[in-house]
Amino acid sequence: MSVKTLKIDGVEIAIEEGATILQAAREAGVHIPTLCHLDGVSDVGACRLCLVEIEGNNRLLPACVTEVIEGMVITANNPRLKEYRRMIVEMLFSEGNHVCAVCVANGNCQLQDLAIELGMDHSRFPYRFPERDVDLSHEQFAIDHNRCVLCTRCVRVCDEIEGAHVWDVGFRGAAAKVITGLNQPWGEVDACTSCGKCVDACPTGAIFRKGATVAEMDRDRNKLQFLVTAREKKEWTR
Amino acid sequence: MDLAELQEIGEKQRTDRPSIRVRCCTAAGCLSSKSDAIKKSLDTAVKEAGLEKEVEVCSVGCMKFCGRGPLVEVDPVGKIYEMVTPENAPSIISAIKGGKATAIELDRNHPFFTRQKPIVLENIGKIDPEQIEEYIGVGGYQQLYQVINDLPPAEVIEEITKSGLRGRGGAGYPTGLKWATVAKMPPGQKYVVCNADEGDPGAFMDRAVLESDPHRVLEGMAIAGYAIGASEGFIYVRAEYPLAIERLETAIKQAKKYGILGSQIFESTFDFKINIRIGAGAFVCGEETALISSIEGGRGNPRPRPPYPAQEGLWGCPTLINNVETFANIAAILREGAEWYASIGTEKSKGTKVFALTGKVNNNGLIEVPMGITLREIVEEMGGGIPGGEVKAVQTGGPSGGCIPASLLDTTVDYESLARVGSMMGSGGMVVMDGATSMVEVARFYMEFCRGETCGKCVPCRAGTVQMYHTLTKLLKGEATETDLERLKAMCDMVKNTSLCGLGQSAPNPVISTLRYFPEEYLSLLKKESLNGKVAVSS
């Protein structure tokens, strides 16, 4: 196995052949933002947030799928890349219906983190307010397409780790969405093993465990009455 | 079958037929104007006149001058009639024996015909695409026979390299180099793929070639297979081309019957079979990695390159992907020699290019011109200019290309010159626009196309094209401000530089080129109060 030496944002690093620029950057302590990358599953280079400049190449290349070459000089962070990244995140925000205040992932969301990291305090692009649905047909989980950023992590984790391939992408362009089965309600897809890996893979609040949302809060008003009766009349059964 | 037998089939085809042939165009364009009824009417007229022994009516492919179709040609009299109807078809037959045809005759010496340099289109409109014997009759499959028997693969590739042929899909990658790369990959399963997913608005070159001379493409693919060491090929053709698919199927069947395709071609050790894959009609599938994914049965999504298909293509095997027109050039290059081919065209762009000349131009249709010809020669001489007006711009390269203004009509047609003026060769759509055309509308049209055709995989292309379309709409409604225009420019830059595949990377081109050459049209659409002291120019 041979080792390649390269430079990322001025930091010199030696890394084994076959590693990606993203791996090298992480080892060198250089931060490159990503959204569709998920450790453990294949990379697709779809979110375009990890694009970097490489000396001698006038194309921007995605760090997650580009292998290191000996002597590479990489710029992972500069005003140009930052501006592109901010535009990408702004476009994601205006593309879906991301209302953090009522989201299950509020405070624990990679899209939100990216917006903060890239200094996005508002979107310069008009919001599109698409009409998207929520699928609550699964017993334990649900998907709110309003919050989906189409990173396809759920698709890859279900196919490559669980081996069930419940998820895929349907339609194209602005109409593209992740689908379950052959675009059936999730609860009707026999292939689903209810393993919950997609929930863990989702970077936003799109796929979540049921019972976690504000609207689903279930208050048991009778419990108070039961306790009062139990104490006063010593009746401990409901 | 050996060469003598092959030539015998051709000879028989040439000598056994009646001396006069009436050719009727039955490519998709003329067929939509009922040219099948014209063919029937011609057949009846021949029978009624009792001329069956002397006159043969045959269906051929495209006769190029599509704007005047349906076309009928009488050979060897050398007359070609335009806008023929079934009613005036009998008069064409009687004209052979000295009568007068009621159909209008086209001038064969028109620059539209005389400026052409047919190589790819040499048989088009002359042979019946549904008869393999006709293709053999014009020397078809002889090059395949000869390379298999006399030319080692490396020499075939050398010949293609020397010819200077570049990919006719539009990007212009050297064909010989591509072949050599796949050939150098370790032996094993390899594939040849023909990209027939032509989808640019205004382009119909590939369709015409497939409908009119399918064997030519098959021969090119088989030669490529021999050269790179592949035994299987795929033609990826869009479902919107049913006639092309039908004729390809017929052609493959006929070639197999003669032992020209399949196992042990010409009784040699070379096997090559060709399969057809029908695409559902997604523009993104013209992108090679998306096309591969589609052939494999997956969603037509592109993936980042490298690895290039030459290294890892279909099912992970080395794969050669070329466009229809590229394959259609191969047999001619081998027949006439690399030097001959390299002597046509410019220093860096050799040979000819087929264009579908459409839009606001007097003569529209299919043209094959040597590289280095100017746009002015094409539009004004061959195209005959614009009906009652002046050229405003020429759009080349489809949604990936740009609009070239009238002031740059002297630009020569070659890969580099077109790129220099902000457009590209593309697969060969050429749309002429007149003074009444709003360039912002044109930009929006192409953006609308890309917005609908993006696969949605990467964010800049999926969301960027929608935002750009919105901004252009806002402009056209007179609701946009200077900030919107600045943002539009920023989006062009971002989508171009960050998209995953060629679709997104080139989607902003029509906007960029119209912004570059027609800025006043954009400015005049801005809200007046937003102009910040600048005066709106009315277009």
Q: What is the pLDDT of residues B457-474, one digit of tens each?
A: 999 999 999 999 999 999
Strand (E) or helix (H) holding B245: helix B242-257
Q: Residues B250, B253, B256, B258: is their CA dihedral positive or negative?
A: negative
Q: Is the dihedral of CA B110, B113, B116, B117 positive or negative?
A: negative
Averaged pLDDT, B258-270: 95
**Interior angle at CA B318, CA B314 and CA B322, nearest 5:** 80
* Contact (CB<8Å) A169/B301: yes
| Chain B touched by A169 (CB under 8 Å) | yes
Mean pLDDT on B505-533: 88
CA pair distance B175, B168, nearest whole angstrom: 9
Q: How far apart are CA B230 and CA B224, in angstroms?
A: 8
What 3-state class would DSSP assign to B72? Answer: strand
Instruction: With a cut of 60, say whether residue B535 has pLDDT above it.
Output: no
A237 against B60, higher pLDDT: B60
- Of the residues A42, A48, A97, A148, the best mutation for testing chain B's interface (the one with the most B CB atoms within 10 Å of its CB) is A48
Q: Which residues of A touch B482 (CB under 8 A)?
A: none
Convert the pLDDT of each residue in B197-236 to its tens digit: 998 888 999 999 999 999 999 999 999 999 999 999 999 9
Residue of A nearest to B460 (CA): A88
Question: Which tokens is A165 given?
Answer: 């391939």
Is pLDDT of B309 > 60? yes
User: Is residue A219 less than 8 Å (CB to CB) from chain B?
Assistant: no
List of chain B residues whose C-beta atoms are within 8 Å of the C-beta of residue A150: 456-457, 459, 462
CA distance A91 to A99: 14
Which residues of chain B neighbour A175 with C-beta distances below 8 Å? Answer: 456
Per-residue confidence (pLDDT) for residue A236, from 0 to 100: 84
Mark residue B88 as left, alpha or beta (left: phi above 0; alpha: psi -120 to 50; beta: remaining). alpha
Supply the pTM of this predicted model.
Answer: 0.92
- Cα–Cα nearest to B304, from A80, A48, A87: A48
CA distance A192 to chain B (A): 20
Q: Which two tokens stand for residue B369?
A: 């011109």
A188 CA: distance to closest CA in chain B (Å): 23
Chain B residue numbers with beta carbons less than 8 Å from the beta carbon of A176 are 455-457, 462
Is the pLDDT score of B539 beyond 50?
no
User: Measuring CA to CA, which residue among B354, B377, B375, B374 is closest to residue B366?
Assistant: B354
Structure confidence by residue, pLDDT tens digits, B95-148: 888 888 889 999 889 999 999 999 999 999 999 999 999 999 999 999 999 999
Q: Which residues of A touch B458 (CB under 8 A)?
A: 45-48
Coil vs helix vs strand at B151 = coil
pLDDT for residue B533: 52
Residue B293, chain A, CB below 8 Å: the answer is no
Confidence at residue B537, expressed as pLDDT on a 0 to 100 scale:
47
CA distance B516 to B522: 10
Which letter does DSSP use for residue B70 in this model? S
Q: Which residues of B are less than 8 Å from A174 in CB distance?
A: 451, 456, 462-463, 466
Distance CA B79, CA B470 (A): 52
With beta carbons less than 8 A apart as the criterion, state whether B474 and B483 touch: no
Closest chain A C-alpha to B304 CA, distance in angstroms: 7
Spatial CA neighbour of B480 closest among B538, B529, B527, B519:
B527
ipTM summary value: 0.90
Q: Judge: A173–B465 Cβ closer than 8 Å, yes or no.
A: yes
DSSP result, B375-441? HHIIIIIIS--BTTB-EEEEEESGGGSEEEEGGGTT-BSSHHHHHHTT----SSEEEEEETT--HHH
- Residue B530 is predicted with a pLDDT of 57
Residues in B closer than 8 angstroms to A47, CB to CB, are 458-459
- CA-based nearest distance A182→chain B, Å: 13
A46 vs B453, B458, B490: nearest CB: B458
Mean pLDDT of B465-491: 96
Q: Among B433, B430, B412, which Cα is nearest to B421's?
A: B412
pLDDT tens digit string along B386-431?
998 899 999 999 999 999 999 999 999 999 999 999 999 988 999 9
Please report which confidence band the pLDDT of residue B538 belongs to, taking 50, 70 and 90 as the band edges.
Answer: very low
Amino acid at position A77, single letter: N
State the pLDDT at residue B527: 84
Residue A213 pLDDT greater than 90, yes or no:
no
Q: Does A119 touch chain B (CB under 8 A)?
A: no
Q: Are strands A207-209 and A141-144 parallel, antiparallel or unpaired?
A: antiparallel
Across B441-538, the runs of DSSP E, i.e. the strands, are: none
How many CB atoms are located within 10 Å of the residue B502 CB? 19
Residues 159-188 of B with CB under 8 A from A: none
- Percent helix, strand, coil in chain A, to 5, is 30, 20, 50
**A88 reaches B (C-beta below 8 A):** yes
Is residue B387 reached through a cis peptide bond, with omega within 30 degrees of 0 on the bond before it?
no
A vs B, Cβ pairs < 8 A, gives 93
Mean of pLDDT over chain B: 94
How do beta strands B352-359 and B429-434 pair? parallel
Dig out the tokens for B454 from the structure.
Answer: 């993006």
8 Å CB contact between B456 and A172: yes
Provide CB contacts within 8 A for A2, sequence distance 6+.
A16, A17
Nearest residue, CB atoms, B457 vs list A46, A128, A149: A46
